[in-house]
Amino acid sequence: MAQNRIYLCLAHMSGEEQKFIKEAFDTNWVVPLGPNVNGFEADLEAFVGEDKRVVALSAGTAAVHLALIACGVKAGDEVLCQSFTFCASANPITYLGAKPIFIDSEADTWNMDPELLEKAIIDRIEKTGKKPKAIVPVYLYGMPAKLEEIMAISRKYDIPVIEDAAEGFGSKYDGQMCGTFGKFGVLSFNGNKMITTSGGGALICPDAEAKNEIMFYATQAREAYPYYQHEQIGYNYRMSNICAGIGRGQMTVAEEHIAHHKHLCDLYRELLKDVEGITLHENPSERFDSNFWLNTVLLDASLQVKGQEHAYETAVQGAVGGAAGVTHASSSLHTDCEPNANVEAMRVALDKAGIEARPLWKPMHKQPVFADAPAYLNGVSEELFKCGLCLPSGPCVTDKDACYIVEQIKANIIR
Ligand SMILES: *Cc1c(COP(=O)(O)O)cnc(C)c1O
């Protein structure tokens, strides 16, 4: 894609992708199985380690869906899910007729608060007489969650963890890859993620047997007969051999991409260090090793940004990430929970300067579609949502771009 504009996280090809795709065409493997799928899965297994097995799928959302099925989630069940996330962590719970129970975040990592998690488990058991079926923590913008605490609670109550590591590809906690702590780990290779297959995802599985079962459900649940025999409801969720070819090419530059995102974090730290009222989100301690998929900042509520008195006066065309889909026209300029005026003013100012910045994910417990879902809250995710902004962090963002971005941020602050 030609660009002058600086995007959040634009896909970047290694050049190797075409070789794998050409091979798929040359050998007539243009189907949802084949050598690239097997090769990509082997690459991913080597990358995440811990003797895990990996299934390549059509999307990260599909990976969440199949992991829930493998954890036995059925209609009427409850699933504990981080509230501060993209909707794809929670939507598949509803596909199964199950109910998401939202858990707020802690301020260090911005991810699932272990204290609230345990409180919620105790309260759900008391209220429903049943244990929730799974725990879905998320690694927001690549930051690992407090995994020691979350895994201890998982063991104590014997509830499996499905790690939504869609944004945490290559992030580590205590030196171990995110996505390998829980029973299952979700990866995404959407166009704007750490690596891409144009669209796709994967599920990290505990063993070959679990991998087999996931593949069964991902390929329409076909029984072993000479004709189509179905005893379960299946899905068409397997990754195609063409997409997997892109994935194999991307794996040759995965480490480079991750290093670049971390390098941009170092740059932003240096460039923002004297800017009062703006705080870069960083690893809270040595145990956390974020891939910094997106670098994010918080703007103090008292920070004065040019034009903030006019924030939200005009409706936006489409939604954030609108290029990727169709949106309904909005019925109002405001909702009951939105980023502060100074954050919106900064977003608009950067946009005018050719820089894509974006608010943080709006917590699921504040989404109208989940108005009825029980939520265990402490105010953290709502406060972060109101103050936060994502800055360009992808492989196409140069050092010069980062300097320009911070220059523009400074130029829009009223001293
Ligand atoms: C991107 C993303 C997903 C879904 O991945 P897709 O491949 O787009 O379906 C799930 N969870 C989180 C937190 C994500 O950011």
Asked if pLDDT for residue 324 goes beyond 70, the answer is no
Ligand 1 centroid to 143 CA: how many Å?
A: 15
- Residue 3 has a pLDDT of 55
Query: What whole-number percentage of the chain has pLDDT above 70?
Result: 97
- Mutate which of 9, 57, 61 for ligand 1? The one with the most ligand atoms within 8 Å of its CB, which is 61
Ligand 1 centroid to 166 CA: how many Å?
A: 5
Averaged pLDDT, 374-399: 97
- Residue 2 has a pLDDT of 44
- Residue 319 has a pLDDT of 67
- Closest ligand 1 atom to Cα of 167: 15
State pLDDT tens for residues 15-42: 999 999 998 888 888 777 789 999 999 9
Half-sphere exposure of 43 (CA within 13 A, CB side): 22
Q: What is the DSSP string of 18-79?
A: HHHHHHHHHTT--SSSSHHHHHHHHHHHHHH-TT-EEEEES-HHHHHHHHHHHTT--TT-EE
Ligand 1 centroid to 273 CA: how many Å?
A: 31
Q: At what angle do helices 35-48 and 17-26 cross, to 10 degrees?
A: 150
Looking at the fold, whether 46 and 144 belong to one and the same domain comes out as yes
- Closest ligand 1 atom to Cα of 140: 13
CATH label of the domain that carries residue 315: 3.90.1150.10
Q: Is residue 129 part of a domain?
A: yes
Looking at the fold, whether 55 and 86 belong to one and the same domain comes out as yes
Looking at the fold, whether 272 and 156 belong to one and the same domain comes out as no
The answer to whether the CB of 60 is under 6 A from ligand 1 is yes
User: Which residue owns the Cα nearest ligand 1 atom 13?
Assistant: 86
Q: How far apart are CA 90 and CA 360, in angstroms?
A: 17
Looking at the fold, whether 262 and 248 belong to one and the same domain comes out as no
- Residue 28 has a pLDDT of 84
Looking at the fold, whether 246 and 180 belong to one and the same domain comes out as yes
Q: How far apart are CA 214 and CA 254, in angstroms?
A: 25
Looking at the fold, whether 193 and 54 belong to one and the same domain comes out as yes
Looking at the fold, whether 274 and 245 belong to one and the same domain comes out as no
Looking at the fold, whether 69 and 83 belong to one and the same domain comes out as yes
Q: What is the SS3 string spanning 144-209?
A: CCCHHHHHHHHHHHCCCEEEECCCCCCCEECCEECCCCCCEEEEECCCCCCCCCCCCEEEEECCHH
Q: State how many domains the chain has.
A: 2
Instruction: Tell which of 206, 224, 253 closes a domain.
Output: 253
- Residue 323 has a pLDDT of 56
Looking at the fold, whether 215 and 109 belong to one and the same domain comes out as yes
The answer to whether the CB of 58 is under 6 A from ligand 1 is no
- What does pLDDT average to over the chain? 95
Q: Is residue 4 part of a domain?
A: no
Looking at the fold, whether 233 and 293 belong to one and the same domain comes out as no
Ligand 1 centroid to 279 CA: how many Å?
A: 26
User: Which residue owns the Cα nearest ligand 1 atom 5?
Assistant: 60
Instruction: Tell which of 253, 283, 303 closes a domain.
Output: 253
Instruction: Identify the H or E element spanning 122.
Output: helix 114-128
| Residue type present at position 371 | A
State pLDDT tens for residues 349-386: 999 999 999 999 999 999 999 999 999 999 999 999 99
Ligand 1 centroid to 177 CA: how many Å?
A: 18
Contact partners, residue 25, CB within 8 Å, separation at least 6: none
Q: Is residue 6 part of a domain?
A: no
User: Which residue owns the Cα nearest ligand 1 atom 10?
Assistant: 88
Looking at the fold, whether 190 and 286 belong to one and the same domain comes out as no
Q: Is residue 148 part of a domain?
A: yes
Query: Domain range holding 394?
Result: 255-411
User: Which residue owns the Cα nearest ligand 1 atom 6?
Assistant: 60
Asked if pLDDT for residue 216 goes beyond 50, the answer is yes
Instruction: Tell which of 253, 288, 310 closes a domain.
Output: 253
The answer to whether the CB of 86 is under 6 A from ligand 1 is yes
Is the pTM of the predicted complex or chain greater than 0.85? Answer: yes
Q: Is residue 1 part of a domain?
A: no
- Residue 330 has a pLDDT of 81
The answer to whether the CB of 83 is under 6 A from ligand 1 is no
- Residue 64 has a pLDDT of 98
Averaged pLDDT, 63-88: 98
- Closest ligand 1 atom to Cα of 192: 1
- Residue 321 has a pLDDT of 61
Q: Is residue 94 part of a domain?
A: yes
Q: Is residue 367 part of a domain?
A: yes
372's tokens: 């009825």
Asked if pLDDT for residue 322 goes beyond 60, the answer is no
CATH label of the domain that carries residue 125: 3.40.640.10
Looking at the fold, whether 26 and 57 belong to one and the same domain comes out as yes
- Residue 230 has a pLDDT of 96
- Mutate which of 84, 89, 93, 361 for ligand 1? The one with the most ligand atoms within 8 Å of its CB, which is 89
State pLDDT tens for residues 83-111: 999 999 999 999 999 999 999 999 999 99
Averaged pLDDT, 107-130: 98
User: Which residue owns the Cα nearest ligand 1 atom 14?
Assistant: 166
